[in-house]
Amino acid sequence: MPLASSSDMGTPMTTAEFLGFTAQADGTHALNMTNQLLGGGSGSLFGGVGLAAGLIALEAATGQAPVYMTCQFASTISPPDELVIHTEVLAKGRTACQGRLTGTSGDRTILALLGATGDRREDLRGIWRTMPEVAPPEACEPLQRTQDSDSFHDHAEVRMARGMFGFAPEDAIGRGTASGDATTLFWTRMPNVSHDAAALALMADYLPSAVGNSLDKRTYCSSLDNTIRFVEPVEPDASSEWLLCESHIEFIAAGFATSQGFIWRRDGTLLASANQSMTAAIPRE
């Protein structure tokens, strides 16, 4: 499905439509990386795409809303590769299902995922995090990244509200400045894409940008995994309103780093928490 079609229609795409991720006759789902627009800037697949695809496939298999999912990046793809997601429901229940998914390209294993979906009665409720105090997105400078090639980043707007966006080149306008600690806050949105559960998974892959902020230096990170946990079923936001990403680096040691964060609606509603482990090194140039 062409990526640019929906803005012509004036209605936002679902994330599945944005990814061109479609059910196949054999029960799998597939997307074609026809160009760099699903890439992370280096030309290979943006990690959040894998997690988003897994969420869509498991929800399709179980008919229940996503509760959590973790995606391990064993390898990657680049244009013109196809990614096929195979879904295996390990435990199927009326109130919860658990699944294992595998992403392949030809005979290569690219992604390995685990996750759960659910439809349960709410006996108990409590949310103990509160949204940090933050300037509104209108008061924050847009991040402008000039890149050699098209990438996923062309679809997502970012505005730093606290700290530095560690993925952006040092001369990028709106990159921000290091906060002096391990916490960043930034607004993000995907215009023309409905902010559904899978869209949050795409955005969650921006949380490790806080590594560069924490060290106040450009850092080369390569994701091992990307994990997201939803507070409750996500009501898709067709207006693509700004979401706040709150990111904390827990530790960087022994060549690896761990980020932990939260995604908030602008009105202060907590939508999800997210964690990621990655390699961390000084770029060799």
Footprint of a copy of itself (CB under 8 A): 67-68, 70, 72-75, 90-91, 95-96, 98, 100, 109, 112-116, 118, 120-129, 181-182, 214-215, 219, 224-225, 227, 229, 231-233, 248-258, 260, 270, 273, 275, 277, 279-282
Q: How far apart are CA 228 and CA 116, in angstroms?
A: 11
- Report in angstroms how near the CB of residue 181 gets to a copy of itself at its nearest: 7
194 versus 275: smaller Cβ distance to a copy of itself? 275
CB of 50 to a copy of itself, least distance (A): 12
Q: What span, in angstroms and rounded, lies between the C-alpha atoms of 153 and 150?
A: 8
We find the least distance from the C-beta atom of residue 20 to a copy of itself, in angstroms, to be: 25
We find the least distance from the C-beta atom of residue 74 to a copy of itself, in angstroms, to be 4
Which residue, 143 or 215, has its beta carbon nearer to a copy of itself? Answer: 215
| Residue number with CB closer to a copy of itself (36 or 76) | 76
Please choose, from the candidates 188, 282, 199, the residue with its C-alpha nearest in 3D space to the C-alpha of residue 17.
Answer: 199
Comparison of 42 and 70: residue with beta carbon closer to a copy of itself? 70
Ranges of H-type helices in 128-255: 197-204, 210-215
Nearer to a copy of itself (CB atom), residue 120 or residue 149: 120
Least distance to a copy of itself from the beta carbon of 29, Å? Answer: 19
Say how far apart CA 134 and CA 161 lie, in whole Å: 7
- Which residues contact residue 73 at a Cβ distance below 8 angstroms, ignoring those fewer than 6 apart? 47, 50, 110, 111, 223, 224, 225, 226
Residues 6+ apart with CB under 8 A from 142: 157, 158, 159, 173, 174
Half-sphere exposure of 7 (CA within 13 A, CB side): 8
Q: Which is nearer to a copy of itself, 30 or 67 (CB)?
A: 67
Other Cβ atoms within 10 Å of 147 Cβ, number: 13
Amino acid residing at 140: C
Between 22 and 102, CB nearer to a copy of itself: 102
Structure-token match 């969420």, residue found: 55
Residue 11 Cβ vs a copy of itself, minimum distance, rounded to whole Å = 28
Coil, helix or strand for 107? coil
Our CB check for a copy of itself shows the closer of 19 and 210 to be 210
Q: Write down the least CB distance from residue 95 to a copy of itself, Å.
A: 7
Q: Are 220 and 184 in contact (CB under 8 A)?
A: no
Instruction: Provide, rounded to whole angstroms, the least separation between the CB of residue 46 and a copy of itself.
Output: 18
Q: State the distance between the two ends of the chain, measured CA to CA, in whole angstroms.
A: 38
Q: What is the DSSP letter of 174?
A: T
